[in-house]
Structure 1
Amino acid sequence: MLPNRMSLTRTTEEQLKKLKGYTGITPNVSARIAFFRSIESDFRYQGQEAKLDGSLVLDKYTWLGETSDVTELVLKMYYPELDTKEYQQAWAAHVEDGIASIRTHRSCLEFSLPL
């Protein structure tokens, strides 16, 4: 469903890298946290296509890790009509939305706080 190689927008990627500097959490792990924070906040992808121009192009399993199956199932549940490219856009939109709620965190402990 999601492509094997995925990237994010440059802005989102920069925010993930800054977050790594503050917390030590790698961009792929913080992207997972951001995705699920976005899902919890009831954000919904509206079909707006973003330019996924980030330089950090990773394979799906590096981005998603053990959350791969759950991430794809959540996307399929919320957006049953999308194709592979659109699923990547939806995933990237959720990561971008979710990073807004965590980008100012300065320690790992702040990730455990409620939304």
Structure 2
Amino acid sequence: MLPNRINLTHITEEQLKKLKSSTGVAPNVSARIAFFRSIESDYRYAGQEIKLNGSMAMDKFTWLGETSDITELVLKMYYPNLDSKQYQQAWAAHVEDGIAAIRNHKTTLDLSKSL
């Protein structure tokens, strides 16, 4: 469903890197947190194409880890008619939406309290 190599927008990646520098949480882990945070907030991808111009293109198993199956199932449940590229766009849009809520935390304790 999701392509084997996926990436995010440059701005989202910069926010993930900033969060890593302040909390020590790796960008792929914080992207997972951001994705599910966005899902819980009832944000929905409206089909707008976003420019996935980030430089941290990784395979989907690095980005998603043990959450890969559930991430893809959630995307398929909410967006049953998308193609592979559109699923990547939806995933990236959810990460971008979710990172806004967690990007300014200074410690892992602050981050964990907000979850």
1:17-96 map, 5 Å: 17-96=17-96
Q: 1:25 to 1:40 in 2, by over 3 A?
A: same
Distance between the aligned counterparts of 2:87 and 2:38, measured in 1? Answer: 15
In structure 2, how many angstroms separate the alpha carbons of the residues matched to 1:40 and 1:107?
22
What is the count of residue pairs matched by the alignment? 115
Residue of structure 1 in register with 2:99 after alignment: 99
**Superposition TM-score, scaled by structure 1 size:** 0.97
- Post-superposition Cα deviations, 1:4-62, rounded to whole Å, max 9, x if no partner, equal 00000000000000000000011000000000000000000000100000000000000
Q: CA RMSD in A?
A: 0.9
Q: Secondary structure at the match of 1:113?
A: helix
State how far apart, in whole Å, the 1-side matches of 2:74 and 2:102 are: 21
The residue identity in structure 2 corresponding to 1:105 is H
Gap runs ≥5 in structure 2: none
Identity fraction in percent = 75
